[in-house]
Amino acid sequence: MTEKRNDFDPAAYNPTFKWDFLAPKHWGTWLGVLVGIPLVFFPQKTKYWLSCKLAKYAIKKPSRTINNAWINFGLCFPEKSDEEKEQLLEKTLTTAVSFLLNFASLSLRSQNWLTKNTTIRGINNIHETLEQGHKAILLVPHSWGIDIPAIYLASQGLPVSAMAKRQKNPVTDWLMHKQRVQYGGRVYERDNGIKPFIKSVRDGYLGYYLPDQDHGREHSIFVDFFNVSKATLPGLGKLSKVSRAKIIPVFSNYDAQTGQFSIDVLPAWEDYPSQSDHQDTQRMNQFIEGAVRKRPEQYMWVLRFLTTQPDPESTYNPYEDRELWLKTYTR
């Protein structure tokens, strides 16, 4: 069993338990935790059946979150019929619900359980990069199992350094943080800047870079992503250069039926960064699009990652356009 690491860094985000977490305003969160704990030990076949039922129920009464996914499908897959998009929506939500029903397993189950239930392909790409004397930054798109590679790699003695945004709910924030760093690693608040993250990578931690959310016009350039021009963070090339790190693409999958995790680690990019931010950012989006097209139900389509429009004068927000919302569910 991997020895517990001492990865404490005063510059990192290190939330601790507060007695205020037991106040009545947080009782709903704790109730959800208490309900979730026994679900961990239900047979996976039962959890999958429940996931299918809950996904169909949610689609029949679509929330804004579900409409976000529906709009993203329309923008990214204009060639798909409504029936095909409904099938993808149902499969995506079933994957999401099944993952959430198993979410507490990552904290309650043993390291041995995690190892047995995770398949990793291409981990040699990480070992070879490190053995060659390079630092490494993992490029990890927002799939439902986005935290799995970080937790699994730390459990195998490969600690990760990540940047994250603090959750609005402090109890959820604390619980998620404990889960992420249970086997070691560091998490830095995105709002505190990039320098501590860079130092951590230089110190030998695997960087964990999540690139695909919409951070607004001020921080982005527009490059192709599926069928649209997407506002995308252009900093990966510069981050690679200043960290003296190779970029290793990673995609995490979760099988809703079996409850198994799988991680695909691709070879480190050669000839990166180039002399062009646009070219480097386009390469990043091409990897994400290619990985998502293979397993589209794995992606967090519920995110509003296409809000910012290429036209600087435009105030249009596709997610607020009710004409694009899901009208009827026919399945």
Residue 330: what pLDDT?
64
Q: Tokens 């079933």 sit at which residue?
A: 94
- C-alpha distances (whole Å) from 23 to each of 19, 27, 29, 45 are 8, 7, 11, 36
Q: Tokens 């990897």 sit at which residue?
A: 287
Tokens at 113, concatenated:
């359980």
Dmax of the chain from CA atoms? 57
pLDDT in tens, 133-186: 999 999 999 999 999 999 999 999 999 999 988 999 999 999 999 999 999 999
Residue 56: what pLDDT?
94
Q: Tokens 């350039």 sit at which residue?
A: 221
Nearest partner of 7 among 176, 204, 282, judged by Cα? 204
Give the whole-angstrom CA distance, residue 111 versus residue 107: 9
Q: What is the mean pLDDT of residues 17-34?
A: 96
Residue 211: what pLDDT?
86
Residue 5: what pLDDT?
63
DSSP of 41-103, one letter per residue? TS-HHHHHHHHHHHHHHHHHS--HHHHHHHHHHHHH-TTS-HHHHHHHHHHHHHHHHHHHHTT
Q: Are 307 and 75 in contact (CB under 8 A)?
A: no
- Of the chain, the percentage scoring pLDDT greater than 70 comes to 97
Nearest partner of 160 among 223, 88, 105, 209, judged by Cα? 209
Q: Is 184 left (phi over 0), alpha (psi -120 to 50) or beta?
A: left
Residue 191: what pLDDT?
83
Give the whole-angstrom CA distance, residue 7 versus residue 152: 16
- Share the mean pLDDT of the chain: 94
Residue 2: what pLDDT?
47
pLDDT in tens, 193-244: 899 999 999 999 999 999 899 999 999 999 999 989 999 999 899 999 999 9
Q: What is the mean pLDDT of residues 114-136?
A: 97
Residue 4 has pLDDT above 90, yes or no: no
Give the whole-angstrom CA distance, residue 8 versus residue 184: 9
Give the whole-angstrom CA distance, residue 243 versus residue 111: 31
Domain boundaries, the chain: 19-324
Predicted TM-score (pTM) of the model is 0.94
Residue 7 has pLDDT above 90, yes or no: no
Residue 3: what pLDDT?
53
Residue 62 has pLDDT above 50, yes or no: yes
Does the structural domain 19-324 have CATH classification 3.40.1130? yes
Tokens at 305, concatenated:
């990652």
Give the whole-angstrom CA distance, residue 4 versus residue 51: 35
